[in-house]
Structure 1
Amino acid sequence: MPFKGLGWVGRFALALALGGSSVVARAADVRTTEVETGGLSATLYVPADGAKHPALLVLGGAEGGRDWARGVARKLAEEGFVALAQSYFNGPGLPKALANVPIERFQRAIDYLQALPSVERGHLGVVGLSKGAEAALALAAREPRLRVVVAASPSDVVWQGIDRTGGAPASSWSFRGVPLAYVPFQPCAQCRGLLDLYRHSYPQAVAADRVEGKGIAAPVLLISSEQDQVWPSTAMARVLAARLRREGAAVVSVIDYPTGGHFAFGLSPTAASAKEDTGFGGGTPDGLAAARKDSWKRVLEFLRAHD
């Protein structure tokens, strides 16, 4: 789990071509390529059958880097998708803070995927967890090329960015050089963890840019948990789903796992990782394991139905 060793405040707090990339591994039926070029820092996983496949951008959360995204992207490639695990901050050549991250950074990843000979043209999607889900939704609102969106532990608004270096408060995302309006964190002496802080700050959402409810034409799958101890993903997923349906989204599906916790979607956990993930993200180890098994199957079904 990427948050190991941090306190809760710390946790919170393309020449677009294969030129410049290097194939570093081949395992089973998946080719792995590290991509550090054209402003793109990512790992590409391609089924090694020589055929064309749908493509997915995979975005992890506030840990930065792409450890979670790599595992999920590789598994998706084993299931027949070209998958790109992208670092969008705290990676090679990227800022350390999750603050005013340009949506264009994700659009460059979409450009890269679309240009690959292994990708079926027009078959593009995005999968994100936590802050990666927030990013995926903000991207989908501005990127008509996406045909499917999976947002696990999502938010219905843009939140204040996370800067562990102590920088000034800022939006998490920007577009065309303009920060997206965001919900700022409110002082909260009584807060005992992230969930308290997000709940305490959420009333300020009236002034935020609810970008996830605007302009998303792609089918959306939301995954949440009532026992999420990072932020109220179930409540925010319900608000978001209602907004998307009201604004004419073609398909909106919501899956809630009461005891899955914040990390209810991902690879099958070990006993140790389930204990660690639920210790920070809520839920129970058995609930998390069951949620991941079921949500993985249902995500694949959703992706295949809408790719």
Structure 2
Amino acid sequence: MRIDITPDQPALDTELRIRLTGFPPGERVRLRAEQPGWASHMVFTADDAGTVDVGRDAPTDGSYEGVDPMGPVWSMRRVGAAGGGGPVELTLTAGDASATVVRQRIPAGLERTEVTDGDLYGVLYHPAGATGLTTVVLLAGSEGGLHEEDAALFAAHGYAAFALAVYGAPGRPSTMTNIPVEYFGRALAYLRGAPAVDPGRVVFAGGSKGGEAALVAGAEYPEIAGVVSIVGSGVMTQGIDQSVFTGSFLDIMNTPVPNWTRGGEPLPYVPNVVTPALEKAVADGLPVRLRDAFEPGLALDVLDAATIPVERIGGPVLLLSTEDDGGYGPAYHRIAADRLAAHGRPFEHIVYPDAGHLVAAPPYGPTTESTGPGPAVTFEYGGTPAATAAARADAHRRVLAFLAGI
């Protein structure tokens, strides 16, 4: 009996092929997949040759349904403390057979440059020795900081990738308030001088608040060659007056502060609207959807002034939304899509049914948890595990295809 996992030492965003051979024909084969803090269980039936191909065969029982080559991974449930950064060791066991593959968060062959230039902070990855590459600038969401490992994964596909910190990083503001849009201009100026970068092919991309930021940057600097917003917003929304993971949730939501400034002056924004139903959910200790405080703001008179002038973006725009998004919700992207369509600008808007907010991360990680910790509350992100996993994988493929077309 044998388990084969290919390719060897893949990147974290690489789809795996998992095959089991040498089992008795027709036998029920119990497969366990595990990585630090997570595990899944499936039962397959070996074919007449004693083989199970996870990319061909559906389990008869277990953690997921249907044929899915990465089902054993995304269907994992938490069984302990998850591992930290670094490579992810995935082990598969069936009967007396076992195999382990190491999935790389930061693939080999990349150059890394930490950028600390005044208030500019980020990390640039690119294939070693490469020059003149299409470049993606990755913007984090309300969690702040930067997504360095995500940048490394994009760089492994042949791009330069700049994880740019907007707030919550060395030299940057500690809160997402009063962020000058000129900051994105300083990032572009740095990239123009980086040998690995083709300054005419720079794309801004982000998820959630980072998606809003990417659209803001593209509208402000039409030399940006394209914009990707994943579960983001076509309008400027209220800032965050303190770290999203500290303090009182209702205090944060009820404190109207601008997210963006230009020339030192605050730009208009749609404020949060804390309804009695949301207050009751917080008081009762129930999971809350930020969408419940966001969407009522779309009916306010400030909407027109706060809408991002996306028609100024100089290149194509990719908007990726999910129907069951516990964050902004697809209505926020539809505002951008309608405006782009009205001005005849190139764009694509994809809405994934049944998927939730957590689709901006690299694919092929566990998606069985749709809640997460907030400031004295639990956030509900929405989506079924299967739909969120499928949307995350498709979104990643679409972003790569978008970059290839720039």
TM-score under structure 2 length normalisation: 0.64
* 1:230 aligned partner: 327
Cα separation, 1, equivalents of 2:273 and 2:172: 28
Paired residues of 1:114 and 1:124 also in contact (CA < 8 A): no
Cα separation, 1, equivalents of 2:112 and 2:384: 33
User: Once the two structures are superposed, what CA deviation does each residue of 1:153-197 show, in whole Å capped at 9, x if it has no partner?
Assistant: 121211110112668522111112121101112242212431111
* 1:147 aligned partner: 225
Cα separation, 2, equivalents of 1:236 and 1:27: 35
Q: Structure 1 stretch 284-293 or stretch 210-219: which is displaced more?
A: 210-219
Paired residues of 1:173 and 1:179 also in contact (CA < 8 A): yes
Aligned residue runs from structure 1 range 76-87, under 5 A: 76-87=154-165
SS of alignment partner, residue 211 of structure 1 = coil
Cα separation, 2, equivalents of 1:140 and 1:209: 15
Cα separation, 1, equivalents of 2:157 and 2:309: 28
TM-score under structure 1 length normalisation: 0.84
SS of alignment partner, residue 338 of structure 2 = helix
CA shift in 2, pair 1:228/1:33, >3 Å: same
Cα separation, 1, equivalents of 2:354 and 2:203: 28
Shift of 1:220: 0.1
Shift of 1:248: 2.8
1:254 has 2:370 as partner: no
Aligned residue runs from structure 1 range 136-175, under 5 A: 136-164=214-242, 169-175=256-262
Paired residues of 1:158 and 1:208 also in contact (CA < 8 A): no
Aligned residue runs from structure 1 range 189-228, under 5 A: 189-191=276-278, 192=281, 193=288, 194-204=290-300, 205-228=302-325
Paired residues of 2:364 and 2:393 also in contact (CA < 8 A): no
Paired residues of 1:141 and 1:214 also in contact (CA < 8 A): yes
SS of alignment partner, residue 190 of structure 1 = helix
- Which of these residues, 358, 363, 369, is aligned with residue 276 of structure 1? 369
* Moved segments of 4+, more than 6 Å: none
Q: Mind listing any 5+ residue stretches in structure 1 that lack a counterpart? A: 1-25
* 2:91 aligned partner: none
Q: Structure 1 stretch 163-172 or stretch 146-155: which is displaced more?
A: 163-172
SS of alignment partner, residue 276 of structure 1 = coil
Between Structure 1 and Structure 2, whose CA radius of gyration is higher? Answer: 2
Cα separation, 2, equivalents of 1:111 and 1:291: 34
User: Once the two structures are superposed, what CA deviation does each residue of 1:193-237 show, in whole Å capped at 9, x if it has no partner?
Assistant: 3111112222124353212434123100000001001122x1222
1:117 has 2:195 as partner: yes
Shift of 1:32: 1.4
CA shift in 2, pair 1:218/1:181, >3 Å: same
Paired residues of 2:226 and 2:313 also in contact (CA < 8 A): no
CA shift in 2, pair 1:212/1:154, >3 Å: farther
Give the counterpart letter for 1:58 in structure 2: L
Query: Which structure's residues are more often strand, by fraction?
Result: 2
1:58 has 2:111 as partner: no
Cα separation, 2, equivalents of 1:276 and 1:212: 35
- Which of these residues, 106, 117, 129, is aligned with residue 184 of structure 2? 106
* 1:242 aligned partner: 338
Cα separation, 1, equivalents of 2:327 and 2:268: 21
SS of alignment partner, residue 299 of structure 1 = helix
Percentage identity across paired residues of the two chains:
36
Paired residues of 2:125 and 2:151 also in contact (CA < 8 A): yes
Paired residues of 1:257 and 1:264 also in contact (CA < 8 A): no
User: Once the two structures are superposed, what CA deviation does each residue of 1:252-297 show, in whole Å capped at 9, x if it has no partner?
Assistant: 10111112211223212432xx233566321111111111111111
- Which of these residues, 185, 208, 225, is aligned with residue 272 of structure 2? 185
Paired residues of 2:223 and 2:314 also in contact (CA < 8 A): no
Paired residues of 2:218 and 2:310 also in contact (CA < 8 A): no
SS of alignment partner, residue 204 of structure 2 = strand
- Which of these residues, 384, 390, 400, is aligned with residue 290 of structure 1? 390
Cα separation, 1, equivalents of 2:187 and 2:176: 18
* 1:304 aligned partner: 404
* 1:131 aligned partner: 209
Paired residues of 1:278 and 1:284 also in contact (CA < 8 A): no
Shift of 1:246: 0.6
Shift of 1:130: 0.6
For this pair of structures, how many residues does the alignment match? 275
1:94 has 2:172 as partner: yes
Give the counterpart letter for 1:30 in structure 2: L
SS of alignment partner, residue 146 of structure 1 = coil
* 1:43 aligned partner: 123
Cα separation, 2, equivalents of 1:176 and 1:146: 20
Shift of 1:27: 5.3
Shift of 1:37: 1.9
Give the counterpart letter for 1:199 in structure 2: E
